[in-house]
Structure 1
Amino acid sequence: MNEPLFEDGLKTRREVLGSEYVDNSLKNAGEFDMPMQELVTQYCWGDIWNRPGLDRRTRSLLNLAMLTALNRPHELKVHVRGALTNGVTKEEITEVFLQAAVYCGVPAGVDSFRTAKEVFKDMGV
């Protein structure tokens, strides 16, 4: 493991997703799945999320669209929260899901709206 890249990723991951969520993910990881937590933290958050080519807000918008396309509601919930943290508005999230529905299928769009509404309710947004 690249310790400096992991630490950079951990910082970014906490800033976007919240310390509580990230710390729980790490705390609940065992011998079996800790390598995945390390990979995600170092590679996704340390390397990719910290690249200079796109800002965090844009990366969040892309993640919402891709997670809709892949129909990954658990990860979508996490990234809806992160998108709001990164300054994405509810109106922009609506537009991402409408666009994704056209290209990925209406059921994927409907599920994404449903998932986001749960997050909005939980966050009081």
Structure 2
Amino acid sequence: MNDEAPARTTIFGHQHDRIFDRLAALDPDLAVYIRDFAYDTVYERGGLDLKTKELLACTLLLGLGSPDELKTHLRGAMLAGASEAEVRETLLFAVPFVGFPRVVAAFVQLRSLLDRQGAAENAPPPR
């Protein structure tokens, strides 16, 4: 592992604990396997930067038809430095490989994420 924050901390941002609590509620061993293997082993490998890994994760999850996980990784890609334009291009690139219905569904997830981010940015500050 590198000296920076673990990839999962960047990807999940302030929702890190909520995401892992949800996984642990499904099955504690599953949560540990996902954390230790997927994030603390695979994601921590060198060779690709975190933004690229997250854009690849988005494409793969789009192809699998996994909307909940896709939403998490769309947000993660942006937290890892991908611009909205880069995320859109990544989704559009998938059309010839997975088809329009899955890409349309991915854009629905992206729109939902962007709408929530916009609402949060425009919300009045807490008193």
* Alignment TM-score > 0.5, same fold: yes
- Secondary structure class of the residue paired with 1:59: helix
Runs of 4+ aligned structure 1 residues displaced above 2 Å come to 25-30
2-structure distance, mates of 1:52, 1:11: 13
Alpha carbons 2:12, 2:72 under 8 Å: kept: yes
The answer to whether 1:38 aligns with 2:32 is yes
Match of 2:48, SS state, is coil
Distance 1:64 1:107 in 2: 15
**Letter aligned with residue 46 of structure 1:** D
| Partner in structure 2 of residue 17 of structure 1 | 12
- Overall identity of the aligned pairs, in %: 28
Q: Report if aligned partners of 1:101, 1:110 keep a CA contact under 8 Å in 2.
A: no
Q: Which runs of 5+ in 1 are unaligned?
A: none
Deviation at residue 12 of structure 1 after TM alignment: 2.6
Letter in 1 for 2:82: V
Q: Deviations over 1:4-45 (max 9, x none)?
A: x8xx9x933122211x42212333424x51111101100011
Name structure 2 gaps, 5 residues minimum. Answer: 122-127
Over aligned residues, Cα RMSD in angstroms? Answer: 2.0
TM-score by length of 2: 0.83
2:62 corresponds, among 68, 81, 89, to: 68
